[in-house]
Chains A and B, each alone.
Chain A
């Protein structure tokens, strides 16, 4: 089955850029979606189809996808960005949805 690999944690100072990676075999050929989940809350879609921001998501959030790595970037990180971030794809070969293990973003 298809697997997505994320670093367990990323730390960044306020105002800096946070980068969260999502690794998978030929992930560049798939559509990658990213979700933010704050403690005790439901996930929120922050990037879809690799690079697109849903309505209401700040321009500070951006995404890219190529080769074996997709990346979520958060420019000018704020305290409110502290959350868990998950990448997700649909694996057509298995007919399954797949999430990465999640990355905890800590704002120092």
Chain B
């Protein structure tokens, strides 16, 4: 079965940093683009970042550019999201999502269950 499992979410204070991980299994990981999508409590889905299949191209939402960094390790079948300078507005469940194909414009066909991040003093 195709599976994505996120980890690393926890409660932190404003200004702190955090690293989220997403472990993939059940498919040829290096062939697919990957994404992070977040959902604040009671709010809608917001795309956060994309990394290409090879890892050579990344894209980040304006709201996180310069603070968050997406990366991947194809040898470990995993993607990561480094979060820095966290604020209360970053409080959300963070989902890992796989692109259907190699293109960044292809849909998100597999999702993890999400990992919660809470930023509060």
Contacts and interface: CB of A to CB of B under 8 A. Distances in A.
Contacts of A92: 105
**Contact size range, B:** 20 to 34
Given A99-B46, A101-B44, A54 B109 contact: yes
Contacts of B61: 96-97
A33 B108 contact: yes
**Contact size range, A:** 20 to 34
A12 interface: no
A97 B50 contact: yes
A48 B107 contact: yes
Given A42-B111, A42-B114, A43-B95, A99 B45 contact: yes
A62 interface: no
A35 B108 contact: yes
B27 interface: no
Contact of B105 (A1, A31, A42): A31
B6 to A, nearest CB: 10
Interface of A: 1, 31, 33, 35, 37, 42-45, 48-49, 54, 84, 86, 88, 90, 92, 95-102
